[in-house]
A = this chain, B = another copy of it.
């Protein structure tokens, strides 16, 4: 079901690339015109990569009329500035449809095509299964494209919908003219198969060794009964291939075989057509299932990191993607999808409906759903041994800053709530692999791949990231709350204690609860002296350790950290509160470069936000927090950037709005302040928005969310790709905190509790409120409505996946019992 509360984009929204694909599988993206772009299924980012002669087309013919044959895309958009025009490989000269209206409701994308000449109406629905708590079925390397064709006339209309894909397996090069050529071992093979209700073209390459990094297969398949196929296009000179295909399609909508079965020196393009005659008024759904299998990765972050570490890439062996442990090849993936489709589709629709059918502000749903993308983008990968990894984001063709970066990922909540077992695997890496004997934690996980490369710039002697290290401790507590998994907690607990000890020893040697010294952090610089970001993070982490120590029966440990917390709680406020917000305290702000000093840092209360989300209580005087978060909004939110002089990186321009990272309302801006102060980061906007909402500044919080989503308007930027230091930036997954703040949802499976307390301002006037929720072991819909007879608000909860078990649920002063609907197969790991 499509929803009316989402944005509709026309073909001018050329920034749109809606990523399809599963967790750890890479993506194929759908453009606003209906074009497939950014083929990123080869284990690295590939923004801008297209496959030659790869497109969908339709032929429809009214009786007695010439056929109408169109590429199933909206009009090609300016600029048309390729130095040789559109190459036939781009099929830019073929006729498109008049228009395409694109809507994205992640994980679904919908396009309504329209055309004055085409006698049928066509809609496209595209998705890859996504089921909360079911990482396996959310990690299938597939894209499901369903074209719905309607015959609005009173005549029968024969229709062919045909997908053409160029076999991408092998070694290719692109020439000056943008034409793609095969190298010696680039001769791929296409094969037409039809078995057990599924049929299509299986693409592979006999010449590649199964250990080759480019080894793999691809499937262009369907469950539609009536097909026509051109298994391999002719491989003639010039652009004979495209002419012959298009003419063949045009004549009768049926495709001839070319006899080009054997691998040749040119690309192997295959076409699969679905054929139907639509009776007057008839509606047909015609589904394509695209699957892929590229199992092999370097056992490393990537070659660049290997080189940066001074290692020889020749000595690095390969490791497989997790999905390679489940499937044998792309045909097996298609087989699974075809067999399990009813369940996969139903469960994905339940999730989609739970989210988009909620009464949350549409822009919040937008922010929430769109930022699920990073965890299914090439920012992340998932290995055969179950480990899950994330870059910070992506360059166009490689990851952008490696290593599960603790300070960036500490802002991200989405994965923890949707796929907590994967999130826990990151904690295991941090505390079981990357934290050394004295509790120093590599804030980038390199040791996990390259233990031999210690001594490099990210070596222990160099620096620990105070916010990352504290953030990881807090996240252990979160993962505990979202799992109640004592085995997990036991595993990481020694590392947690060591990491906390390191923090105390290195930054709080005088045990006053206020951090000092050189404090590396997410701004890629070192804060010096007392500063709110680091110290409040520390206070929150002290509380988390206290709570975990209690759970694990270590009261002395709990008491020790509580004592530090109590001291810091008082001292920090006294030291850093300036009457409006919290400041960094340094005698001489210019003694060190890149400090913030008396500036108003948007992140100053991040530790408190985490504490709030994790139910750790107040770290600071409540009225100070209440005023400080508003001061952040008042001083740092800019409603336009026309006059903004930003000598740093620019993520907001012209008439856009956004939240600056730091301003100096009282002057005293350092000559060279914190290096990102004049920038705008979506992850920080979201965490501040959540905090504003928690503190009752709901309009202000929603305005921040609005500002982000307005910048990502399809023309300026891609709504499904929030950028910072890279595409699909992990910090953007802070948007989940906005959901937590608006719904007041909190869960602690260790205690067997879950509760809701939606913010009054977003409860609709009719009193009927609905929201999606997930607590790590189940997910569903929470509702409340006003009983018209009593005026009383009556809550209810529906479980759509997982097993809520014996969790006690509190809302509106009542204890609820859930309606269970069991699906999914998430298990503790």
How many Å lie between the Cα of A716 and that of B164 in the bound state?
A: 28
Q: How far is the CB of A524 from chain B (nearest CB, A)?
A: 9
What separation, in Å, do the CA atoms of A69 and B642 have in the docked complex? 12
Q: Is the CB of B83 within 8 A of A47?
A: yes
Cα distance A759–B672 in the bound complex, in angstroms: 68
Q: Which of B80, B117, B679 contacts A653 (CB 8 A)?
A: B80
Report Cα–Cα, A679/B231, bound state, in Å: 28
Q: Does A94 contact B (CB under 8 A)?
A: yes
The distance from the CB of A724 to the nearest CB of chain B, in whole angstroms, is: 8
- Name, among A86, A594, A641, A645, the residue most crowded by chain B CB atoms within 10 Å (CB to CB): A645
Interface residues of A in 371-425 (CB under 8 A from B): 393-396, 398, 400
CB-CB under 8 A from A723, the residues of chain B are 81-85
Distance (whole angstroms) from the CB of A707 to the closest CB of chain B: 14
A521 to chain B, nearest CB (A): 15
> Least Cβ distance of A81 to chain B in Å?
5
**Min CB–CB distance A389 → chain B (angstroms):** 19
Q: How far, in Å, is A627 (CB) from chain B's closest CB?
A: 29
Q: How far is the CA of A119 from the CA of B653 in the complex (A)?
A: 22
Q: Flag if A400 contacts B83 (CB, 8 Å).
A: yes
Chain B residues within 8 Å of A75, by CB:
653-654
> Chain A, 505-530, contact with B by CB distance < 8 Å: what is the 0/1 string?
00000000000000000000000000
CB-defined contacts of A647 to chain B, threshold 8 Å: 88, 91, 93-94, 239, 242-243, 246
CA of A437 to CA of B448, assembled, Å:
72
Say if the beta carbon of A651 comes within 8 Å of chain B. Answer: yes
- Give A768 to B346 CA distance when docked, in angstroms: 77
For A265, the chain B residues whose CB sits under 8 A away are none
Chain B residues near A671 (CB, 8 Å)? 243-244, 247
Interfacial chain B residues near A644, Cβ < 8 Å? 93, 95
A792 to B653: give the CA distance in the assembly, Å.
62
Tell me if A400 and B645 are in contact (CB < 8 A): no
A93:B246 contact, CB within 8 angstroms: no
Known: A395-B176, A675-B238. A79 touches B716 (CB 8 A): yes
What CA separation (Å) do A643 and B97 show in the bound complex? 9
Q: Which residues of B contact A81 (CB under 8 A)?
A: 15, 717-718, 723
Q: Tell whether, in the assembled complex, residue B88 and residue A648 are in contact, meaning their CB atoms are under 8 Å apart.
A: yes
Residue of B nearest to A594 (CB): B238
Chain B residues lying within 8 Å of A594, measured Cβ to Cβ, are 238
Interchain CA distance A716-B38 in the complex, whole Å: 23
Contact indicator A79/B15 (Cβ below 8 Å)? yes
Q: A79-B715, A642-B95 are in contact. Are A593 and B649 (CB under 8 A)?
A: no
What are the interface flags for A354-381 relative to B under an 8 Å C-beta threshold, 1 for contact and 0 otherwise?
0000000000000000000000000000
Cβ-based interface call for A481 (8 A): no
Interface residue from B84, B243, B648 paired with A726 (Cβ < 8 Å) = B84
B237:A651 contact, CB within 8 angstroms: no
| Chain B residues with CB under 8 A of A395 | 83, 176
Tell yes or no: A14 within 8 A of B by CB. Answer: yes
A649 in complex: contacting residue of B84, B96, B646, CB < 8 Å: B84
A interface secondary structure, majority: loop
By a CB distance below 8 angstroms, the chain B residues around A679 are 85, 93
B653 touches A86 (CB 8 A): yes
A726 vs B242: C-alpha distance in the bound complex, in angstroms? 22
Asked if A93 contacts B716 (CB within 8 A), the reply is: no
Minimum CB distance partner of A82 in chain B: B723
The residue of chain B having its C-beta at the shortest distance from the C-beta of A728 within the complex is: B83
The docked-state distance in angstroms from the alpha carbon of A653 to that of B94 is 9
Q: How far is the CB of A638 from chain B (nearest CB, A)?
A: 12
Pairwise interchain contact A239-B645, C-beta atoms closer than 8 A: no
- Give CA–CA (A84, B726) in the complex, Å: 5
Find residues 56-95 in chain A having any chain B CB closer than 8 Å to their own CB: 69, 75-76, 78-88, 91-95
A92 x B650 contact (CB < 8 A): yes
Is A596 an interface position by the 8 A CB rule? Answer: no
Give min CB distance, A454 to chain B, whole Å.
24
With a cutoff of 8 Å between Cβ atoms, the chain B residues found around residue A678 in the complex are: 93
Residues of B within 8 A of A641 (CB): 95
Pairwise interchain contact A83-B393, C-beta atoms closer than 8 A: yes
A87 to chain B, nearest CB (A): 6
- B78 x A649 contact (CB < 8 A): no
CB neighbours (8 Å) of A244 from chain B are 671-672
Q: Is the CB of B246 within 8 A of A394?
A: no
Q: Is the CB of B718 within 8 A of A650?
A: no
Query: Of B95, B642, B716, which is within 8 A of A645 by CB?
Result: B95
Is B398's CB under 8 angstroms from A176's CB?
yes
Closest chain B residue, CB of each to CB of A71: B645
Q: CB of A352 within 8 A of chain B? A: no
Give the one of A15, A238, A242, A717 with max B CB within 10 A.
A238
Name A111-151 residues within 8 Å CB distance of B. Answer: 117
Contacts of A604-647 to chain B: CB distance below 8 A: 641-647
A727 located at the interface, meaning its Cβ lies under 8 Å from any Cβ of chain B in the complex: yes
Looking at the complex, which one of B85, B237, B646 makes contact with A93 (CB distance below 8 Å)?
B646
Interface 0/1 of A1-42, CB less than 8 Å to B: 000000000000011000000000000000000000000000
What is the CA–CA distance of A396 and B82 in the complex, to the nearest angstrom? 9
Q: Which chain B positions have C-beta within 8 A of A400?
A: 83-84, 176
Q: Which residue of B lies closest to A713 (CB)?
A: B78
Residues of B within 8 A of A396 (CB): 83
Interface membership of A194, Cβ < 8 A:
no
A240: Cβ under 8 A from any B Cβ:
yes
Residues of the B chain whose Cβ atoms lie less than 8 Å from the Cβ of A653: 75-76, 80, 86, 92-93
A640, chain B: closest CB distance, angstroms: 11
Closest Cβ neighbor of A525 among chain B residues: B238
- In the complex, which of the residues B80, B92, B117, B675 contacts A717, with contact meaning CB atoms closer than 8 Å? B80
User: How far is the CB of A72 from the nearest CB of chain B, in Å?
Assistant: 14
User: Is the C-beta of A250 less than 8 angstroms from some C-beta in chain B?
Assistant: yes
Closest residue of chain B to A87 (Cβ to Cβ) is B649
User: Which B residues are CB-close (under 8 A) to A557?
Assistant: none
CA distance A47 to B83 in the complex (A): 9
Question: Which residue in chain B gives the minimum CB-CB distance to A116?
Answer: B642
Asked if A703 is an interface residue, CB under 8 A from chain B, the answer is no
24 pairs, CB–CB < 8 Å, chain A vs chain B: A75-B653, A79-B716, A79-B717, A80-B651, A81-B723, A83-B396, A83-B400, A83-B727, A84-B400, A84-B649, A84-B725, A85-B723, A86-B653, A91-B647, A92-B650, A93-B650, A93-B679, A94-B645, A95-B642, A117-B643, A239-B675, A242-B647, A246-B647, A247-B671
Given A92-B653, A95-B644, 19 further pairs, Cβ under 8 A: A15-B81, A47-B83, A76-B653, A83-B400, A84-B400, A84-B725, A85-B650, A88-B649, A92-B650, A93-B644, A93-B645, A93-B647, A93-B678, A94-B645, A117-B643, A176-B395, A176-B400, A240-B672, A246-B645
Which residue numbers of A lie inside 8 Å of B, CB to CB?
14-15, 47, 69, 75-76, 78-88, 91-96, 98, 117, 176, 236-240, 242-244, 246-247, 250, 393-396, 398, 400, 593-594, 641-651, 653-654, 671-672, 675, 678-679, 715-718, 723-727
The 4 A-B pairs of least Cβ separation, nearest first, read A93-B646, A93-B650, A86-B650, A242-B647
